[in-house]
Structure 1
Amino acid sequence: MITAARSVSSEESSARTALKLGPKSIAERLRNLVLETSPTMPAIERYTGVLYDPLDAREADTATRAWWDRHIVVQSAMFGPVGAGDLIPAYRLSHDSRLPGLRLISHWPAPAGSALATRRDGLVLDLRSEGYRALGPAPGAVALRVVSVAGDGRRKALNHWNKTAKGRLVALLGRTGAAVSTMAELADWAAAHGVVIEQVDGSWELVAESLGPAAV
């Protein structure tokens, strides 16, 4: 994977297409040329954006970080499943990147699925987007659907902002040191903290408003 990413990143023209880079982000291709020598940091700090910002990982206390290190696995397009505390360098690669001679959707499922299986212990929540979920199957995991509930009770699945709700949920799980082994226990834990997680028509749903208005 690293070899293929380095090859496609060596020229602007190939990197622009394969990594979907625009004029302002084209320099990010250079990260892939120095993966084996560039500085590293814990994955939970490396990633940014609406999913990770609610964690405020660098300011989290020791107990919260320890909980995340034990429980969180991030699906990386470059490195496969990585733990929250695993040290990784900066890189540029997404689940839908197109590398010459190597399809991520074909390369990752077997080794990633095997790695996830070795970490499996009890309840597994799958909060990944569909694209990243395809890179590493996790049989038996529970996918949590994020919804917004209108005043008349109608439910609407959220798109971009579902990431904020998921980030806030993971932040709260870590800060409270949650110890749950079933979805029923998770729902009870959530209710005790003012969060709504419930089963609707056979699927588990997280109500975004229960984690704050900015999540909607």
Structure 2
Amino acid sequence: MLILLPPSEGKTQRRRGRRLDLGTLSFAELTSLREALIDRVGEVSARPDAHRLLAVSPNLVEEVARNTRLRTAATAPASEVYTGVLYDALDLGSLDAAAKRRANRRVIILSALFGAVRPTDRIPAYRLNPSAELPGVGDLTRAWRAVLASALEQAAGASGPIVDCRSSAYVAMWNPRGALGERRVQITVPGASHMAKHTRGLVARHLVQSAARPRHPEDLVEILADGFDVRLTEPERAGRSWQLAATART
């Protein structure tokens, strides 16, 4: 089973810690594009029109300035760098040792700068939108789509559901097709965006706390049944994704 998460918009910057070492990150096949992007994002972030090129708010002056120091800034595990509603609900730091190990095997976080990382990968805080078009790189989503497929297909393995908690911008970076698409389960949540993020975080937490090894999307219903009201919808056509509507019980 894979659990796909988006990054958070806000990120926590450590004051002290080891510098970025791309050689230690998961998915070594992404290193070449990561190297190129770190250099290009650093250059762009020093420009007066950085916010436009990075596709971020012009009010984020300090966060964009961080991008000029990506190679020298302190790093922290991705599970600590990413913050916000989903990650507060997931709360990886409070899990027991076995659940943390499962989280590091099962959870993959999509990133506009690093492509894909696991919770224990050490990264600095950064600010970048996957819809950015960078000089010399072009459309960022398209650039990642070209290299992420083989890495994530291998991570998905031959069986087990792909539980997708991502937002649409990060779905565009890798959208499983064919046989993999038939194993993908999109988590949908009725209501406002805040509640959707919170519930997806709770779903991800529940799945890493469980020692069960689901082989099929239908197995998720039993795993989640003790904490959520769930409804699983089978795709009407081959190659399409399943939909799992989840509402956390209070």
TM-score grouping bracket, smaller chain normalisation: 0.7 to 0.9
Show the counterpart of 2:244.
Answer: 205
Q: Which stretches in structure 2 are left out of the alignment for 5+ residues?
A: 1-36, 236-241
TM-superposed CA distance for 1:60, in Å, is: 2.5
Q: SS of 1:93's equivalent?
A: coil
Q: Report if aligned partners of 2:164, 2:187 keep a CA contact under 8 Å in 1.
A: no
- Structure 1 residues 196 and 144: alpha-carbon distance in aligned structure 2, compared to 1, 3 A threshold: farther
TM-score (norm 1): 0.83
Separation in structure 2 between the aligned mates of residue 211 and residue 124 of structure 1, nearest angstrom? 23
Q: Does 1:4 align with 2:43?
A: no
Separation in structure 2 between the aligned mates of residue 112 and residue 131 of structure 1, nearest angstrom? 15
TM-superposed CA distance for 1:165, in Å, is: 0.8
TM-score (norm 2): 0.73
Q: Deviations over 1:146-194 (max 9, x none)?
A: 233xxxxxxxx65443111110111111223342121111111111x23
Which of the numbers 144, 168, 181 marks the counterpart of 2:186?
144
Which of the numbers 167, 174, 190 marks the counterpart of 2:208?
174
Which of the numbers 179, 195, 208 marks the counterpart of 2:228?
195
- The one-letter code matched in structure 2 to 1:110 is A
TM-superposed CA distance for 1:52, in Å, is: 0.9
Separation in structure 1 between the aligned mates of residue 50 and residue 212 of structure 2, nearest angstrom? 42
Show the counterpart of 1:114.
Answer: 150
- Structure 1 residues 145 and 61: alpha-carbon distance in aligned structure 2, compared to 1, 3 A threshold: closer
TM-superposed CA distance for 1:201, in Å, is: 6.5
Show the counterpart of 1:124.
Answer: 162
- Structure 1 residues 144 and 158: alpha-carbon distance in aligned structure 2, compared to 1, 3 A threshold: farther
Separation in structure 2 between the aligned mates of residue 167 and residue 145 of structure 1, nearest angstrom? 10
TM-superposed CA distance for 1:143, in Å, is: 3.5
- The one-letter code matched in structure 2 to 1:31 is R
Q: Report if aligned partners of 1:195, 1:211 keep a CA contact under 8 Å in 2.
A: yes
Percent of aligned pairs with the same residue?
A: 31
- The one-letter code matched in structure 2 to 1:47 is Y
TM-superposed CA distance for 1:137, in Å, is: 2.9
Highest relative contact order (Cα 8 Å, sep 6+), 1 or 2? Answer: 2
Listed as ranges, the matches of 1:1-216 within 5 Å are 1-11=37-47, 13-19=48-54, 20-23=56-59, 25-102=60-137, 103-121=139-157, 122=159, 123-139=161-177, 140-141=180-181, 142-148=184-190, 158-191=192-225, 193-200=226-233, 202=235, 203-208=242-247, 210-212=248-250
Separation in structure 1 between the aligned mates of residue 192 and residue 132 of structure 2, nearest angstrom? 24
Pairwise CA RMSD of aligned residues?
A: 2.0
Q: Deviations over 1:77-120 (max 9, x none)?
A: 00101112211111111212332232112211021111101211
Q: SS of 1:137's equivalent?
A: coil
Q: SS of 1:84's equivalent?
A: coil
Q: Report if aligned partners of 1:42, 1:86 keep a CA contact under 8 Å in 2.
A: yes
TM-superposed CA distance for 1:22, in Å, is: 3.3
Q: SS of 1:52's equivalent?
A: helix
Q: Which stretches in structure 1 are left out of the alignment for 5+ residues?
A: 149-156
